[in-house]
Structure 1
Amino acid sequence: MAETQDWVPLGIDTNVPSMARVYDYILGGAHNFAADRQVGSQIEKLVPGLPSVARLNRRFLGRAVNFLMDQGIRQFLDIGSGIPTVANVHEVAQERDPEARIVYVDKDPVAVAHSELMLSGNKNAGVVQADMRDPDAVLASPELQRLLRFDEPIGLLMLLMLHWVPDEDDPHKLVARYRDALPAGSFIVMTHVSEDQADQKVDQAVDVVNRSKSDQMTMRTHGQVNALFDGFELVEPGLVGCGEWRPSGPGDIADEAAMNMFLYAGVGRKD
């Protein structure tokens, strides 16, 4: 039987897992359903360090946004923003500059509904419901057109997103479409699951995800992820393990070395 919490948007089939909600579960959030928790618990049993990886990704997000703020970026496009949790892009950016502008994009209606609630009254932030694989719809959306100015540099964030784009959907072409829309001086911020660090348990976890009727995961090597930055100049330290990208304190690095390398992370600048 489908769950019927009052926060569930109409039309949601709660029996079909969503990776946005599985991620919410792994982070310890409350906006997920039994189907999401089943997938999440299965992959956590196979990869017990997964909550640590999720936290590393969020910590990297904060460091990357602050780095972009240091470079003068005051507008952000966060594609695949997910269900709001702590240290969201607008919270990090607007703490430093209340006039910073942020557009969130997600295809999951639960993520969008909660983003709208969180952003109520925030004139400098908005959310768009769209699939990242339809860049024309994303870039032409009224909310994006209202908030972002394409004569100024933009920070484009694609965290934990491109491994959901299979090779047949041409992730290189997809990134290039967004890159070409960005003005010079813009940045891309990316995290991507690493195939180089995968073992049998990780492969089994990927199989669980890909059998779940949800999005399909494609793991990639360092070289393959690096190629997604074509047209951008990687800033130091380049494409590295998520925990190794400019850590600023103990919370940025996992105790288990393999977890620091589970995700590749990088920031690139468009000249």
Structure 2
Amino acid sequence: MTGTEPAAARIDTSRPHPARVYDWFLGGKDNYPVDEELGRQIMGVDGTARHVARTNRWFMQRVTRWLAGEAGIRQFLDIGTGIPTEPNLHQVAQGIAPDARIVYTDNDPIVLIHAEALLRSSREGITDYVQADVREPGRILEQARKNLDLTRPVALSLVALTHFLGDEDRPYDLVARLVDALPSGSYLVLSQLTADFDPVAVGRGVAMYAAGGVTLAPRTKDEIARFFDGLDTVDPGLVQLTDWHPELAVGESVDENAVISLYGAVARKP
């Protein structure tokens, strides 16, 4: 972990932050009134928003079970970690492979405050936390190398992250730079907001986030597929999150009326 200024002093409670709004949707307590206010506004126009957030979390857990189990991955780089909500990625991975190594990355100082929960590794494995922004891929990779062997396969997790990057951030270049640094046999895990299924509700959500100073950039299925260019997509491909290996679900609840406006996929680097 880096930085000399206390994390608490750097937390901006005057405007919502995606990690804290997400925490509120998940029923967490590590958020502020400004985050709850935005969350409630979004719920007012899309009553399924909380379930969608939980569905995204369950997607991460299913993917991690598959990667640590069937795919045999032992190294994970999770960017856009968010505030710890159990089970965390390392708990799922190390529950299957105790020797798994996990490096978490986020740019929200409040996540740094709670990083201790992210660092409760198994004795055989390692977990670490890097305070950094996805727009700093070089720094992330430099810090990750302290605990990950980037000559061996790594699962790069970008779950519900890229829709907070506008086109001006060159998101495809950022993802490509991260993937390019990983060896053959590595995996990209990505989920992203789309307006394909419910454009009205998503459009209202975009406007609400914008009013709070937060970029939210939904993308079409074809646009999201571009993140996986040059990679071999794992079956069933790029799908709504609930359709990605539902047989791996543990403790999930299904809302038949919820519109899950997120696509997700897992792809292997040849």
TM-score, normalising length: structure 2: 0.91
In the alignment, structure 1 residue 138 sits paired with structure 2 residue 126: no
Report the CA distance between 1:253 and its aligned residue: 6.5
Check whether the contact 2:14–2:34 (CA below 8 A) recurs between aligned residues: yes
Whether 1:129 aligns to 2:131 is yes
Distance 1:253 1:196, change over 3 A: farther
Contact residue 187 and residue 266 of structure 2 kept, 8 A: yes
**In the comparison of the two structures, how many residue pairs are matched?**
261
Q: Which residue of 2 aligns with 1:159?
A: 159
**Separation of aligned partners in 2, 1:23 and 1:216:** 14
SS in 2 for 1:256: coil
Structure 1 segments (4+ residues) deviating >6 Å: none
The gaps in structure 1 that reach 5 residues or longer are 1-6
Question: Helix, strand or coil: the match of 1:228?
Answer: helix
Do the aligned residues in 1 keep the contact of 2:236 with 2:244 (CA within 8 Å)?
A: yes
Give the Å deviation of 1:257. Answer: 5.3
Post-superposition offset of 1:127: 0.5
* CA–CA distance in structure 2, aligned partners of residues 76 and 210 of structure 1: 32
Letter of the 1:57 counterpart = N
Contact 1:116 1:126 survives alignment (8 Å): no
Q: Which moved more, 1:163-172 or 1:241-250?
A: 241-250
1:155/1:188 contact within 8 Å kept: yes
CA offset digits 1:61-104 (Å, max 9, x no partner): 11101111121100000000100002211000111122100000
Do the aligned partners of 1:60 and 1:252 also contact (CA within 8 Å) in 2? no
Indicate the SS of the match to 1:203. helix
Sequence identity of aligned pairs in percent? 40
**Partner in structure 2 of residue 205 of structure 1:** 205
C-alpha displacement of 1:256:
3.0
Q: Is the 8 A contact 1:160 1:192 kept in 2?
A: yes
Q: How far, CA to CA, are the matches of 2:203 and 2:97 in structure 1?
A: 42
Confirm or deny: 8 A CA contact 1:15 1:34 kept in the other structure: no
**1:211 Cα deviation after fit:** 1.2
- Mapped partners of 1:223, 1:238: distance in 2: 12
Q: 1:202: how far off?
A: 2.3
Task: Confirm or deny that 1:176 pairs with 2:176.
Answer: yes
Residue 84 of structure 2 aligns to a residue whose secondary structure is: coil
Query: d(CA) in 1 for partners of 2:33 and 2:212?
Result: 13
SS at match of 2:42: helix
- In the TM superposition, residue 15 of structure 1 has moved relative to its aligned partner by 1.6
Do 2:101 and 2:127's aligned partners in 1 also have CA atoms closer than 8 Å?
Answer: yes
State the shift of 1:217 in Å. 0.6
Distance 1:152 1:212, change over 3 A: same
Q: Relative to structure 1, is the Cα distance of residues 48 and 257 closer, same or farther in structure 2, using a 3 angstrom cutoff?
A: closer
1:1-271 maps to which residues of 2 (within 5 A)? 9-69=8-68, 70-119=70-119, 124-141=126-143, 144-213=144-213, 215-248=214-247, 249=249, 252=252, 254-256=254-256, 258-259=258-259, 261-271=260-270
C-alpha distance in 2 between matches for 1:137 and 1:82: 19
Q: CA deviation at 1:53?
A: 0.7
Distance 1:120 1:232, change over 3 A: same
C-alpha contact 2:52 2:258 (8 A) present in aligned 1: no
TM-score for the superposition, normalised by structure 1: 0.91
Question: Aligned partners of 2:199, 2:112: CA distance in 1, in Å?
Answer: 34
Q: Which residue of 1 aligns with 2:3?
A: none
Q: CA deviation at 1:13?
A: 2.3
